[in-house]
Amino acid sequence: MSPILGIWASQNYSRVAPDTGAMFPLGMVQVGSAGSANIEFTSIPSTYTHLQVRFIGRITRTELSDFPVFRFNNDTAANYSWHALEGQGVSAFAEASANADTPRNGEITATNAGANIFGVGVVDILDYKNTNKYKTVRNLVGHDQNGSGTIWFGSSSWRNTNAITSIKITPAYGTGFVQYSQFALYGIK
């Protein structure tokens, strides 16, 4: 046995409490056959440290892609900023916006993308209940279209110190999310 493995093997970890998990499901929305103009999570409890939204989605828009917009506590004013690194096929670039009312949190497929191709994403909302600071969001989102898809790594901020109690997700330009789009909200201890 190697010295490092021997050290690990000789340790007594019986006094360590078992991990019971740090992520707790708070809600899930699956879009039905009629589609949905938005996804909304309300009455978010303040018993966690962070929130995470995991999703698979496709937007109704006559383009290849669109941007899911996350707004907090129904704030539609220009209180958001965002920036991202984006890769498309063989190209990469950065983009940003300050004082935005439509904070982009990734790029997913839309109507003109290949049939039944959905985008996926993970969006972390950090310190969502902390009333002493603005809120920070980080996201990793992407979709593949046989080499012409997009990978998006970005972050955004909501310049408000209120605790986040609701999240409304809408397309930036499209009219809604198509059937089988699914969004799940988790609380993280």
DSSP 46-98: S-SSEEEEEEEE-EESSSSEE-EEEEETT--SS-EEEEEEEEETTEEEEEEEE
Phi/psi-derived region of residue 146, left when phi > 0, alpha when psi is between -120 and 50, beta in every other case: left
Q: What are phi and psi of 186, to 5 degrees?
A: -125, 145
pLDDT > 90? residue 135: yes
Whether pLDDT at 16 is above 80: no
10-24, 42-56, 72-86: which has the minimum mean pLDDT?
Answer: 10-24
Helix H segments across the chain? 3-10
Identify the pLDDT of residue 134. 97
Structure tokens at 109: 């497929």
Q: What is the pLDDT of residue 4?
A: 41
Question: What would the two tokens of residue 183 be?
Answer: 């969004």
The pLDDT value recorded for residue 6 is 42
Write out pLDDT tens, residues 136-156.
999 999 998 877 888 999 999
Q: Measure Cα distances from 24 to 12, 28, 117, 186 in Å.
A: 29, 12, 28, 5
SS3 category, 33: coil
| Whole-angstrom distance, CA of residue 184 vs CA of residue 187 | 10
Say what the pTM is. Answer: 0.87
β-strand partners of 96: 83
If you average pLDDT over residues 128-143, what whole number do you get? 96
Q: Are 153 and 85 in contact (CB under 8 A)?
A: yes
Spatial separation of the C-alpha atoms in residues 189 and 178, rounded to whole Å = 32
Local confidence band at 42 (pLDDT 50, 70, 90 cut-offs):
very high
d(CA 7, CA 11): 7
Helix (H) or strand (E) holding 156: strand 150-158
